Amino acid sequence: MNKAAAAVPPREHKLDLRQLLADLVADGLLAKDQVNPVLSRSHGPEPKHPLAIIAGAEAPNAREPGRKLTLEVLTQWLSGRVGLPYQRIDPLNIDVPRITAVMSYAYASRFCVLPVKVTHDEITVATCEPYLREWEKDIESVAKKKVKRVLSNPADIQRYLH
């Protein structure tokens, strides 16, 4: 790989259901014959996060017979795949006054991110869209702190945003 190609950041995009299913099959968590049943559940009236669609299909975990691919299992798997630390959101550990000073509810909802910790020089922000990063520079600029991204369960992020 040449240096110019290495310097180009990956394009911003939301997670894609078909790509996630292909990755799950490649990683041995989902059997190939489970892909179409999951896809058939993806056409609901309300848009859902791709991990929630997969978890909602209750597909068997091909690595652990007798277990399902739950939203938590899928989030932890994706965390490892994209190289972001996984963080379970504990509402008792969120310092609400410091968090709300970092970004507005509307801004957090727009990008489906949730600040979960603020220190003197760093803001830890939970996301469920690891390839969307446009918000990151804005927050660093406004807050004058470094952003540390972590991957969290999309249902938890939505729960604490509402």
Q: How many CB atoms lie within 10 A of CB 90?
A: 9
Amino acid letter at 158?
A: Q
Q: What is the reported pLDDT for 10?
A: 64
Write out pLDDT tens, residues 39-55.
988 877 777 999 999 99
Position of tokens 């727009």?
110
Q: Among 7-11, 24-28, 42-46, 119-123, whose mean pLDDT is lowest?
A: 7-11
Segment 77-86 shows an average pLDDT of 97
Enumerate the β-bridge partners of residue 115. 125
In the numeric block, which tokens belong to residue 118? Answer: 């603020």
Segment 95-119 shows an average pLDDT of 86
CA–CA dist 154, 50 (Å, integer):
9
Of the candidates 135, 129, 127, the residue with the CA atom closest to the CA atom of residue 103: 135
Mean pLDDT of the chain: 90
Asked whether residue 152 carries a pLDDT value surpassing 90, the answer given is yes
Asked whether residue 4 carries a pLDDT value surpassing 50, the answer given is no
DSSP-H helix ranges across 83-162: 96-102, 105-111, 134-143, 154-161
Q: What is the reported pLDDT for 5?
A: 46
DSSP-H helix ranges across the chain: 3-7, 17-26, 35-40, 50-56, 71-82, 96-102, 105-111, 134-143, 154-161
